[in-house]
Chain A
Amino acid sequence: MSTLLNSRRFRNVAIQAGFVVIILVVVVSAVIIGRQNLQAQGATSGFAFLHRATGFELGFSLIETGPFDSFGRFLLAGLLNTIFLGMIGIVLANVVGLTVAVLRTANNGALNAIGTMYIETFRNIPMILQALFWYALLTSLPAPKQAYHLLDLAFFSSRGLYLPGLNVTGAAAAIFFLLLAAGVVASVCFSISRRFKSMPNVRRSRIRWTVLAAGVLLGIVALAYGRVPDTPVLSIPELRGLNIRDGVRIPPELASLAIAMAVYGGAFIAEVIRAGFISVGKGQVEAAHALGLAPWHVFSRVRLPLAIRAVLPTLINQYVWLFKATTLGIAVGFADFFAVVSVSISQAGQTLELIGILMLGFLVMNNIIAFVLNRVNKAIALKGTQLRV
């Protein structure tokens, strides 16, 4: 017996088994106690409410929703809004982050100062305040009748930003963006995948562009199918009466959150990317200069690829974090996933189920982000041992 207890193998198995049992006991008893308490209060549990009509409306939705639609559809709309805002916010934050990181690492005192001032200002103000600030700013723009406009094509008013668009259905637009994204992702995956490295470069680049073009073309086909009949192709906003008609309206709720994510998230991403630039070996940059590469090529072919490789794991962290910041939508009245769940809780009363759906939704979305980017990280990681000088 004592020899069994002393066996390392046995101890490992015993500890793990004990751990699993404890977790099972905790989970099962939580469910049982929860059910008993709910029954004692006379509350019904379960997911039947998902099919009930909500009775409220959403301020912004990518799919059509109305008070007679079900909670299920509203939750889907909220989820889509969160993904939509998250994608816009993360992309913009990257643009801001890269720009500020370049400013801060430039060989120019004035640019460094601008970058540093940016970071120290926007990193240190809580994002909820920034969201409220941009919301206040956007909603205090003039009324539609006095809206600022650019060549009568784009209008900036307190009711939102109006941009020229296409007369297509929302679904067609969504499919277009999905196909476009799929084309870009497939072409990037093809470029970095090891499996196709042995292919001649000319053929590889031809396939890469074909894949991308296919995504764009299929997207355009989707747009053509989704055209709203009996309308011009282009939808240009114009002032009619007291309001602006046609065009694409970007509501101030969405715009203020997207700006806040770009400005606040961008400050953090800038610092991460700056760390990447600093980690790039001086020798590699000197070698690139010595070969006669133009400054832009030294940056785009040597410094940036090496910097991104150095910090991609940290960047993934930032993206996941920034994605969760979409839950601030509730502060300015944007119907993101969290906001829809919150309102649904007060309307339907199914707190546990709705919180469960909310948590599961974020777990799945953030795990997808992390999974995909970790694969990318693995695919582009430097091979072999690196000499650090």
Chain B
Amino acid sequence: MTDVAVSISHMNKYYGGFHALKDVNLEVEKGERIVVCGPSGSGKSTLIRCINRLEEHQEGSINVLGTELNDDVANIDIIRREVGMVFQHFNLFPHLTVLENCTLAPMLARKISQADAEKSAMMFLERVRIPEQAEKFPGELSGGQQQRVAIARALCMKPEILLFDEPTSALDPEMISEVLDVMVGLASDGMTMICVTHEMGFARQVADRVIFMDHGEIVEEAAPGQFFEAPKNERTKEFLRQILSH
């Protein structure tokens, strides 16, 4: 069929009277890597949280992998199983070991046997280079390690799309690169990724497109080369000046 992973058209989101997302249109193809940036409060997190229904949109339509995202609970379940998410604060389950964090959803939501779930979890933990911590609890790991476990946990569901919500902004500087390395590795394997991040080096290196948002609108959308060298919009120029100035 189509190769469209996510298709958002004329989507509006309100928090009470506050217009959080204004007429957002976005098409993401399978295998595409998108970086979303913008000043804080610009709606970039809200945008990707709408894609797996952690936030509800009020107008317009969101279609994920051919399934329309609406009030239908079954649709939401289908989409959430196919869309993985990595959070700013990792959000691991602190009462479960690293391995249990990774096997919980595959066993319950995908009905995979425990043995198979553990085998595939160990494979993904190796991929994020942390298999030796499988029996530890999240609270016993560093921030960078926890975020890599969170990525492995999302991968264990074998999702088609991965959403990253500022995955490195809660990390100490020396741990950022270990997480970014894993993300670069995923990108080169052809994973469809939508990343909200301020890591402009990552954006330059892996993004197919960079999206700049401000006040709930998509202001500019361009390939990274053009985005960084010749931004068209004044607000984009201002934003880039601020974050690249030091």
Which positions in A face B, CB cutoff 8 Å? 197-198, 201-202, 281, 283-284, 286-294, 297, 301-302, 305-306, 309, 380, 382-387, 389
Say whether B140 contacts A383, CB under 8 Å. Answer: yes
Complex interface: chain B residues within 8 A of A287 (CB): 85, 87, 91-93, 150
Say whether B91 contacts A202, CB under 8 Å. Answer: no
Say whether B87 contacts A286, CB under 8 Å. Answer: yes
B118 CB within 8 Å of chain A: yes
Q: Please, how many angstroms separate the alpha-carbon atoms of A335 and B49 in the complex?
A: 60
Q: Please, how many angstroms separate the alpha-carbon atoms of A348 and B11 in the complex?
A: 83
Complex interface: chain B residues within 8 A of A305 (CB): 95
Say whether A382 contacts B108, CB under 8 Å. Answer: no
The size class of the interface chain B forms with chain A is: 35 or more
Say whether A302 contacts B93, CB under 8 Å. Answer: yes
A146 to chain B, nearest CB (A): 49
Say whether B80 contacts A292, CB under 8 Å. Answer: yes
Q: Please, how many angstroms separate the alpha-carbon atoms of A294 and B92 in the complex?
A: 17
Given contacts A281-B91, A286-B87, A289-B80, contact A384 B54 (CB under 8 A): no
Complex interface: chain A residues within 8 A of B136 (CB): 383-384
Say whether A293 contacts B140, CB under 8 Å. Answer: no
Complex interface: chain A residues within 8 A of B81 (CB): 292
A153 to chain B, nearest CB (A): 38
B236 CB within 8 Å of chain A: no
Complex interface: chain A residues within 8 A of B139 (CB): 382-386
Complex interface: chain B residues within 8 A of A202 (CB): 114-115
Say whether A384 contacts B114, CB under 8 Å. Answer: no
Say whether A383 contacts B137, CB under 8 Å. Answer: yes
Complex interface: chain A residues within 8 A of B93 (CB): 284, 287-288, 301-302, 306
24 contacts between A and B (CB under 8 A): A197-B135, A202-B114, A281-B91, A283-B87, A283-B90, A283-B91, A284-B91, A284-B92, A287-B92, A289-B80, A290-B80, A291-B80, A291-B153, A291-B157, A293-B109, A294-B77, A294-B108, A297-B108, A301-B108, A305-B95, A380-B95, A382-B94, A384-B140, A387-B90
Say whether A201 contacts B118, CB under 8 Å. Answer: yes
Say whether A293 contacts B92, CB under 8 Å. Answer: no
B89 CB within 8 Å of chain A: yes
B223 CB within 8 Å of chain A: no
Say whether B95 contacts A306, CB under 8 Å. Answer: yes
Q: Please, how many angstroms separate the alpha-carbon atoms of A103 and B52 in the complex?
A: 27
Complex interface: chain A residues within 8 A of B52 (CB): 290
Partner of B137, one of A198, A286, A306, A382: A382
Say whether A201 contacts B92, CB under 8 Å. Answer: no
Complex interface: chain A residues within 8 A of B84 (CB): 290-291
Say whether B95 contacts A291, CB under 8 Å. Answer: no
Say whether B77 contacts A284, CB under 8 Å. Answer: no
A66 to chain B, nearest CB (A): 52
B123 CB within 8 Å of chain A: no
Interface residues of B in 7-59 (CB under 8 A from A): 52, 54
Say whether A291 contacts B138, CB under 8 Å. Answer: no
Q: Please, how many angstroms separate the alpha-carbon atoms of A385 and B87 in the complex?
A: 18
Interface 1/0 per residue, B147-175 and A, CB below 8 Å: 00010011001000000000000000000
Complex interface: chain B residues within 8 A of A380 (CB): 95
Additional pairs, 16, CB under 8 Å, beyond known A284-B94, A290-B84, A382-B94: A201-B118, A283-B89, A286-B54, A286-B87, A287-B85, A287-B87, A288-B93, A290-B80, A293-B104, A293-B109, A297-B108, A297-B109, A306-B93, A384-B138, A387-B89, A387-B90
Q: Please, how many angstroms separate the alpha-carbon atoms of A301 and B90 in the complex?
A: 18
Q: Please, how many angstroms separate the alpha-carbon atoms of A306 and B90 in the complex?
A: 16
Complex interface: chain B residues within 8 A of A383 (CB): 94, 136-137, 139-140
Complex interface: chain A residues within 8 A of B97 (CB): 197
Say whether B94 contacts A201, CB under 8 Å. Answer: no
Complex interface: chain A residues within 8 A of B222 (CB): none
Complex interface: chain A residues within 8 A of B115 (CB): 202
A73 to chain B, nearest CB (A): 46
Pairs A-B, 10 closest by C-beta atoms: A384-B139, A283-B91, A291-B105, A292-B81, A384-B140, A287-B91, A292-B80, A383-B137, A290-B85, A292-B109
